[in-house]
Amino acid sequence: MTTPSTASISAGPARTRTRRVDGALPVGGSRSAGYFFVALYAVLLILFGVIPTGYAIFLAFTKTGGGFAAAFNFTRAFSDFRFLPAFQHIAEFLAVWLSAEVVLILILALMLHSLASRTSAIFRFLFYMPGALAGAASVLVWLFMLDPTLSPWHLLLKGFGFSQLNLVLLPGHLPFVFALIAFWTGAGGWIVVMYGALNNIPEELLEAAKLDGANAFQTAIRIKLPLIKKWVAYMLILSFAGGTQLFVEPQLVGQASAGLVSNTWAPNQLAYYIAFNNDNFNEAAAISVILLVLGLIGATFLVWRTKLFEIN
């Protein structure tokens, strides 16, 4: 237990409001540092988040030459024959990716939490390493790994009947291929986050479960997972929002594979194509607003169901 320093005890009344506890920050001191860091984030959020979002909404409800367009851009986007397939593709990708993310990341985080501290640190580092690669580099690495004529796993791929890259990139396989790439690059960071959440569980609670006869599996299911539910919801919210914005993976795979993947496979690709090939930024903005609304609906549902911001 720490005690106030002699200097702080002997200080006069004028200094009692900023006295220090040994090794700690000033008690009742200035909060200007906190406001400073929040202000920096707020400025960046406004410049690169709020203003672009507001401009996209403005474009979505205006005509190309100016003037209010009501729902014209949205109606035109809905009537595009590529619109529904693009959203169907992204729904299939999200179903595969989020399911794999929740199951595998939680299993790996729980396994790491059961290991000794030094051993788990090594594995956390190894899991996190793929995330250091840029998105484009990861896609190119996986194109090499999935090409049966080049891959070091060519025997395994050919054993599953994939003798050429075009067989790997069949339309029905693409949600799984993109989910694999996204998981490989993003899972490591979430494993570290979940491991940190598990470390916040009081050790006394885990010891009590062990004394009551709970084995490792029962402790994980009945104690650890319920206590990190809000962290799982947080992961799902960000992953869902990021997944709807899928662009790099299908775009680069399509370019590198000589058009095996359509350049309007995902909604973001469709918006990009409409904006820069059809020179229609208003309709492209309408698609981006639809993606924004879907992300907000998904986030609201998860926050409501998990009571994410409720303070116990």
Distance CA 312, CA 102 (A): 24
SS (H, E, C) 144-198: HHHCCCCCCCHHHHHHCCCCCHHHHCCHHHHHHHHHHHHHHHHHHHHHHHHHHHH
Phi-psi category of 70—alpha, beta or left, where left has phi over 0 and alpha has psi -120 to 50? left
Class of domain 81-306: mainly alpha
Judge contact between 130 and 181, C-beta under 8 A.
no
Contact (CB, 8 A) for 20 and 27? yes
One pLDDT digit (tens) per residue for the chain, 312 residues = 444 443 343 344 444 444 444 444 454 446 788 888 889 899 999 999 899 999 999 999 998 877 888 889 999 999 999 999 999 999 999 999 999 988 999 999 998 888 877 778 888 888 887 777 666 778 888 888 888 888 888 888 888 888 888 888 898 999 999 999 888 888 888 998 999 899 988 889 888 888 888 888 888 888 899 899 889 988 999 899 889 999 988 998 888 888 889 999 999 999 999 999 988 999 999 999 999 999 899 888 888 887 777 766
Residue 21 DSSP SS3: strand
Instruction: Give the chain's length.
Output: 312
One-letter amino acid at 134 equals A
Grouping H, G, I as helix, E, B as strand and the rest as coil, residue 266 is coil
Do the Cβ atoms of 191 and 112 come closer than 8 Å?
yes
pLDDT attached to residue 139: 84
pLDDT of residue 259: 80
- The b/e string for 191-205 (b: 16+ C-beta within 10 A; e otherwise) is bbbbbebbeeeeeee
Return the SS3 of 230.
Answer: helix
